Structure 1
Amino acid sequence: MSENLRKPFVAGNWKMNGNLALVAEFNQKLADVNASAEVVVCAPSLFLHAFDKDSFSVGTQNVSHLDNGAHTGELSVDMLKEAGCKYAIVGHSERREDQGESSELVALKAKKCVAAGVTPIICVGESLEIREADNVESFVGEQLDALINAMSVEELSKTVIAYEPIWAIGTGKTASPEQAQEVHEFIRGYFFKVDSQLAQGLRIVYGGSVKPDNAKTLFAQNDVDGGLIGGASLKAEDFISICQAAN
């Protein structure tokens, strides 16, 4: 698959924000979005039932690597799928840091999603300290190693990779288009060593303070196939503009 056949992908990550009124607003305003990108809203699981899933897809921000059972507070992929989830964010830096999720655990979650027919949006990315030490490729490579060790080529082909430089999440700082492209090219090259067709078809999206005024330039990069949007995904008009920038 060539890069021209990778359908642009834009997902909003509401994080621990939102309410039913915001869901209703999105249902109304996204109903007639003129965007060629695949559009996903990843909201708190509590609100998933209220979305109009005919206009866009919904996803969860986390999922258990375990099956249904005695796991208080967890949500299984089967439960989330029944709630209408087609996507699941796994390995977001906030969970890696706040909940101590390892790359190995993230890989197990991604594998569980694929087995259930839910597409995992797998987050990778470095801190400012790692970037300033010029260890970005080594650090991100180790995160990718865990995926390769746990998943087959066929399983990996059913994922989306999101590169999120931690230093650009919620800080107002954004990686330059050149910085984003450099890491995206590295990630695609990493998977190319595993399987060339996998690498060519894999969608790699950028997350890190994407806004309407910088989205088009970021998405124009050869290996940037869309975005995982944080703060701007809480404003319907801004999110729609970003989705249209991926056309």
Structure 2
Amino acid sequence: MDKERKLIIAGNWKMNKTVAEALDLVNGLKRELSNVKEVDIVVCPPFTALSEVSKAILDSNIRLGAQNMSEHNVGAFTGEIAAVMLKEFSVRYVILGHSERRQYQKESDDLIARKALAAHAASLKPIICVGETLQEREAGLTEKVLETQVRGSLAGLSRDQMVETIIAYEPVWAIGTGKTATTEQAQQAHAFIRSLLARLYDEATARKVRIQYGGSVKPSNARELMSQPDVDGALVGGASLEVRSFSDIVKNSI
């Protein structure tokens, strides 16, 4: 598939996998995906598995991501993890502002923006999640919600930092529900986000930013989703927990 931007497919393992299970999964992915060069492949295990998974993928084409980080670099923040700590495990990407954290941990756009700046200061690439709920979509508020989240979560990022930032459009109503946005709905939202980036930055910057789709991505719908002009990859939840399904999503995207 000839794309202007290199596809990036990341697996968000959420709160799943012991260290032993994580190694089983990542070793299987290494075998299945060793020849894939057209896609940036990222796995995001829980913090407890980062060290061992990092060693396991050292000489592979798989990159390591974390599921969250603190906006602070050091200090009295019990239970938090700093960017510099992630760097020790060769983490390159970090998911910020996932809808589950926005919902359960009450994370605000302002907090996510501060985390994004802290990530860039440590040369980590943030994957910033945005997306509307079912009620918001049904009320015709999708673009309003996306604009608020994008503007707020990217506040303070320079053009250069923006180019090194990934946005993940995840309609909340499609996460873990089995419902997927139609390819038209996904493309429409991605195109809107890119047009907003052009307004916030400029056309050239907007063209370089990769926008992933997330929300019940499966091997069966990956090819159609990735064929859309403004869909530059996927942030995969449940289907990233099995070697076969995640490998097939990657292979079907090419």
More deviation, 26-35/222-231:
26-35
Q: Which residue of 2 aligns with 1:22?
A: 21
- The question of 1:222 aligning with 2:229 is answered yes
Distance 1:128 1:240 in 2: 30
Question: Number of matched residues?
Answer: 245
- Alpha-carbon separation, structure 1, partners of 2:196 and 2:82: 30
Return the letter of the residue paired with 2:7. P
- CA shift, 1:69, in A, is 1.0
Q: Identify the residue that residue 39 of structure 1 maps to in structure 2.
A: 41
2:169 aligns with one of 155, 163, 166 = 163
Return the alpha-carbon distance in structure 2 between the equivalents of residues 101 and 148 of structure 1. 14
Q: Deviations over 1:218-246 (max 9, x none)?
A: 11100000100000000011000111122
Spell out, residue by residue over 1:177-212, the C-alpha distance to the aligned partner (whole angstroms, 9 max, x if none). Answer: 010000000001111112111111100000000001
* Aligned position for 2:242: 235
- 1:126-205 equivalent positions in 2, closer than 5 A: 126-193=132-199, 194-205=201-212
Task: Tell me the residue number matched to 2:6.
Answer: 7
- 1 CA distance for matches of 2:178 and 2:248? 18
CA contact (8 A) 1:9 1:246 kept: no
**RMSD, aligned CA:** 1.2
Structure 2 counterparts to residues 32-181 of structure 1, below 5 A: 32=31, 33=33, 34-35=35-36, 36-51=38-53, 52-53=56-57, 54-55=59-60, 56-181=62-187
Structure 1 CA distance, aligned partners of 2:15 and 2:167?
A: 22
Query: C-alpha distance in 1, partners of 2:210/2:154?
Result: 16
Look up the equivalent residue of 2:72 and give its one-letter code.
L
* 16-25 vs 176-185, which moves further: 16-25
SS at match of 1:85: coil
Per-residue displacement from partner, 1:134-157 (whole Å, max 9, x unpaired)? Answer: 110011100111144321111111
Q: Percent identity?
A: 46
In structure 2, give the amino acid aligned to 1:153: R
Q: Structure 1, unaligned stretches of length 5 or more?
A: none
2:222 alignment partner, SS class: helix
Q: Is the 8 A contact 2:96 2:127 kept in 1?
A: yes
Q: Identify the match of residue 219 of structure 2 among 212, 219, 226.
A: 212
- Helix, strand or coil: the match of 1:64? coil
Higher mean C-alpha deviation, range 124-133 or range 153-162: 153-162
Change (3 A) 1:148 1:25: closer
Secondary structure at the residue paired with 2:3?
helix
- The letter for the 1-side match of 2:132 is E
Would the aligned equivalents of 1:58 and 1:86 in 2 still touch at CA under 8 Å?
yes
SS in 2 for 1:224: coil
The CA distance in 2 between the partners of 1:95 and 1:48, in whole Å, is 20
SS in 2 for 1:221: coil
Rate the CA distance shift 1:148–1:90 in 2: closer, same or farther, 3 A: closer
2:198 and 2:204 in contact (8 A); partners too: yes
- For residue 224 of structure 2, what is the amino acid of its counterpart? T
Between 1 and 2, higher relative CO (CA 8 Å, sep ≥ 6) is seen in: 1
| CA apart distance, 1:22 | 2.5
Secondary structure at the aligned position of 1:218 is classed as helix
What secondary structure is seen at the aligned counterpart in 2 of 1:189?
helix
**Range moving further from structure 2, 149-158 or 117-126:** 149-158
Deviation of the 1:26 alpha carbon: 2.7
| Separation (CA, whole Å) in 2 of partners of 1:12 and 1:26 | 11
